Amino acid sequence: MLTDSFGRKFSYLRLSITDVCNFSCNYCLPDGYQCSQPRDFLSLAKITRIANAFSEMGTEKIRITGGEPSLRKDLPEIIAACKAPQNIKKVALTSNGYKLPQHINQWLDAGLDAINISIDSLDPRQFQQITGHNKLPHILKGIDMALSDGRADVKVNVVLMREYNGYDIETFLAWIKDTPITLRFIELMQTGENDKFFDAQHVQGSRIKQNLILAGWLPVINSHSAGPAQEFYHPDYQGRIGLIMPYAKNFCDSCNRLRISAVGKLHLCLFAEQGLDLQQHLQNDDVEPLKQHIRAMLGDKKVSHFLQDRLTGATRNFAMLGG
């Protein structure tokens, strides 16, 4: 398995397939998507080579991200290509849910095992204010379809923001009382473009954790290929809660994931200073040079993301790399 100089093992790949997004969320793309680089996104053939290489290096889980990955018409083929290698046990998708009702069956048929949908408010007006789209009922319909089908785990991501949802946790808790999903509260993270918004809106997840424990929520033991969320369950609730707290002490100690951008660059951290180009090793089906190149570059992975020092690296916004 891929291992860095600090002994961390990497069984989880986050693979971006586009940096384009059709939403204009206030914490990510408040002015909408701006094309800032050539849109020479990874082809299906190159994605297949990446999946094969990482599978051979011990990766068990691939999460397909964006931008908004459903904007790619070949998403079903990409899901199937990521699921095909022998060692890949789980293929997940992170989406804004815009195309969920129309395409969920297609994605599931292609082999999708898990889906995370971003819903930062359950109030339709607040949802529209955050995202720029009046699509909350449409997205909730898609979630209901996915739950009814039963083939994929369903999670909902909520980015915590003081003025927009920081005081509305009880509404989310009421929703998962009878809804069997995992609701993940994610601390807002600073990027190169949102520093003022971050200062005004950041909410500490540790406060929510304390309240959950006081209310009888109990910790869940995560698998080694799980993401960074601390997960909790309650016997009176069908749903679960996950907390992602990147500003917590020792957050990076359990890092198990690497990232590849939509233009074929390896990012050793979401907040790395730069992406490391893989394109020269993606031109044919021999993945041995690609594997050797990735192993060599892993030696440069840092001990921390250094967010606590307000260092955001090359990450201007989350659509660049899928969070």
pLDDT tens digits, one per residue of 296-315: 999 999 999 888 888 777 77
8 — phi, psi (to 5°)?
Answer: -80, 135
Q: Tell me the mean pLDDT in the region 109-129.
A: 97
Q: Tell me the mean pLDDT in the region 207-229.
A: 87
What pLDDT is attached to residue 110?
Answer: 98
Q: Are 44 and 81 in contact (CB under 8 A)?
A: yes
pLDDT tens digits, one per residue of 45-95: 999 999 999 999 999 999 999 999 999 999 999 999 999 999 999 999 999
Q: Could you tell me which of 41, 112, 50 has the C-alpha nearest to residue 72?
A: 41
pLDDT tens digits, one per residue of 237-256: 999 999 999 998 888 998 99
Amino acid at 286: D
What pLDDT is attached to residue 38?
Answer: 67
Q: Tell me the mean pLDDT in the region 161-185.
A: 92
What pLDDT is attached to residue 155?
Answer: 97
Sheet holding 182-187, edge to edge: 218-219, 230-233, 240-244, 182-187, 153-160, 114-118, 90-95, 61-65, 12-16, 257-260, 265-267, 276-277
How many residues would you count in the chain? 323
pLDDT classification of 282: cutoffs 50, 70, 90: very high
Computed over every residue of the chain, the mean pLDDT equals: 93
**What secondary structure letter does DSSP report for 41?**
P
Which has the minimum average pLDDT: 130-144, 243-257, 283-297? 243-257
Q: Tell me the mean pLDDT in the region 121-138.
A: 96
CATH value at residue 217: 3.20.20.70
Q: How many domains does the chain have?
A: 1
Q: Give 223: exposed, middle or buried? Use CB within 10 Å, 0-12, 13-18, 19+.
A: exposed
Residue-number span of the structural domain to which 89 is assigned: 2-320
